[in-house]
Structure 1
Amino acid sequence: MGKYKNYIFMALLVALFVEILIVFPSHLEHEDEVALRQRVEKRDKEAKERKKKGIKEDPGPSSLADQKMGGVHLVESQSGNRDWELFAVSAEGSQAGGKWALQQVRVLFYNKEKLEFTVTGDEGTIDDKSKDLSVIGNVVTKSENGYVFKTPSIFYSSKTRQIVSPEQVLMEGPRDSSGAGLFLKGASMKVLVEQSKMLIQNKVTAQKPMKDGKKFEISADGAEFSGKNREARFLGAVRMNYDNMKLEGPEASFLYGKGADILSSVAVKGGVRVSDVDKFATSESVNLDLLANQYTFKGRPKVIQNNDELTGEEIVFLEGGKKVKVERVRAKVENKDQ
């Protein structure tokens, strides 16, 4: 009798097993299909009602024409070389529209297979046809040699290979042995990827702190920086203050020795005016040798100190301007009080 009870018990277990694994899931699948059909019918009914009322359809993200991707990695090449490489947390768009919206973007820009610039930002877009890009929100552009540019947005043209920002830009240059990097503000920015050049345009102001506590304060119409070296050029109506000295000229260059990590000199050319507490000077060019602490005026230099006027082929301010040396004097020192 006990043996039959065991057989009956085993049969009940098998029946329960079949019910759980086969019948019950089929029941659930049926219910899911019904719910899905109901949702589709409801959506179709709503669409017909909107059409009757003349309301245009918004495809929305559920449209088959739209796609959403996560963990995006794209590479664009020109003439067999990488142009840019893009990473994003997500991308959403359509093949028909040809544009994609990106989130949490990082773009690497190359020149002859060498990484030149990296751009990061909150959002971005990419045109699937032109391969043009935009990055918007907390945008940071970094050159491989240490320049950092902060802007609200950037736009990249694949045809011209230029990164442009029409909005205010803040720049911080790389540190060097003479002190902190250059701090700069400008009205707009243009980056020439193929030339590895960075142009700051309109209403440029800058500061360059020095280790000895002195600092350069500069204003100009524009500034130019290189991704290949640390040289910085200021162009157009340049005005500089440095250690009680004021300099004015059309162009000024901050120069580093080859392979050196220290600002060695500042060259101003194109017609220069210099003044300090007790002197006024003019020349075609002036070179501030920061390591030797001397300033050399060339090209019809003239210095007026108190009532004396000095001219010569070359005039040198020694010890930061405490002493004056005139090379190949063309005119004698004249005391105008006599």
Structure 2
Amino acid sequence: MAGNVNIRTLLGFVIVALVVALAVMIARNFKGFETTEILDNLPANVDLAMKRIQYTETQDGVPQWALQADSATHSFSQGATDIENIHMVFYDQGELGDVTLTADRGKFFSDPQVVQVEGNVVVKSPEGYTFYTDALTFTAEDRYIRTDDDVRLLSGAADIKGNGMLLHIDTRKISVLRRVSAVIEGQGGGL
């Protein structure tokens, strides 16, 4: 019985010694950071920085649209969030299905809810309707997507180009505003 007590005591001592040795190694090798290091990396007008964000707008518990971005920086004084690598989904758009929007960068304003995007802007529906532009604005209040830039709309056999566009999300009515040209191919390969 005395041998069991000595082995238990010895094992307890070994375990405590290992824990202490591990704690010493962690303490010696731990490189702490100063909060000023993190704050120095933020731009002067940024109050909050985030990675991989998702915002979903719902109405009566039903998602209306969602915004995802790889990164975001928010300024409380400006009331705006700068976002990078944007992916938006406008849910259940009738025969068009869920419409998606992608862009390189943009701004999200929460009051009123406005999303402005630019750089490689592409809006697609699962039915094959696609339009391209350099910049556009989505306003949640009136549910319009609009741009004053050049646009190109592709829809099956139709290729429509112009300058400026309005797209109402709910009615799916698209208006190309200026300098409109269209090529519509028939089954024979021509117009």
Report the TM range for the smaller structure's normalisation.
Answer: 0.7 to 0.9
**Deviation for aligned residue 1:24:** 3.7
Q: Which has the higher contact order (CA 8 A, sep 6+)?
A: 2
- 2:85 maps to 104
Task: Please name the residue that 2:172 is paired with.
Answer: 196
Q: Alignment length, in residue pairs?
A: 183
Over 3 Å counting, the alpha-carbon distance change for 1:79 and 1:166 in structure 2 is: farther
Q: Out of 100, 106, 113, which is 1:131 matched to?
A: 113
Gaps of 5+ in 1: 45-56, 175-180, 216-338
8 Å contact kept, 1:116–1:193: no
Distance 1:131 1:26, change over 3 A: farther
Fraction of identical pairs, as percent: 23
Q: Distance in 1 between matches of 2:190 and 2:46?
A: 64
- Structure 1 residues 124, 147: closer, same or farther in 2, change over 3 A? same
Let me know the Cα RMSD of the aligned residues. Answer: 3.7
Q: Deviations over 1:214-256 (max 9, x none)?
A: 32xxxxxxxxxxxxxxxxxxxxxxxxxxxxxxxxxxxxxxxxx
Specify whether residues 18 and 64 from structure 1 end up closer, same or farther in structure 2 by C-alpha distance, changes over 3 A only.
farther
**Structure 2 unaligned runs (5+)?**
none
Task: Say whether the 8 Å CA contact 1:116–1:196 is kept in structure 2.
Answer: no
One-letter code aligned to 2:185: P
In 2: Cα distance, 1:26 partner to 1:209 partner: 76
The structure 2 residue matched to 1:167, chosen from 145, 149, 152, is 149
Is the CA contact 2:49–2:71 (under 8 Å) kept in the aligned structure 1? no
Query: What's the offset of the Cα at 1:133?
Result: 0.6
Partner residue in 1 for 2:27: 29
Q: Contact conserved, 1:75 with 1:82, CA < 8 A, in 2?
A: yes
Amino acid at match of 2:88: V
The whole-number CA distance in structure 2 between the counterparts of 1:169 and 1:193 is 17
- Closer/same/farther in 2, CA of residues 95 and 26 from structure 1, 3 Å limit: farther
CA offset at residue 85 of structure 1? 2.1
Task: State the 1:152 CA deviation.
Answer: 1.2
Cα–Cα, structure 1 residues 94 and 23, in superposed 2: closer, same or farther, change >3 Å? farther
1:86-97 counterparts in 2 under 5 A? 86-94=67-75, 97=78
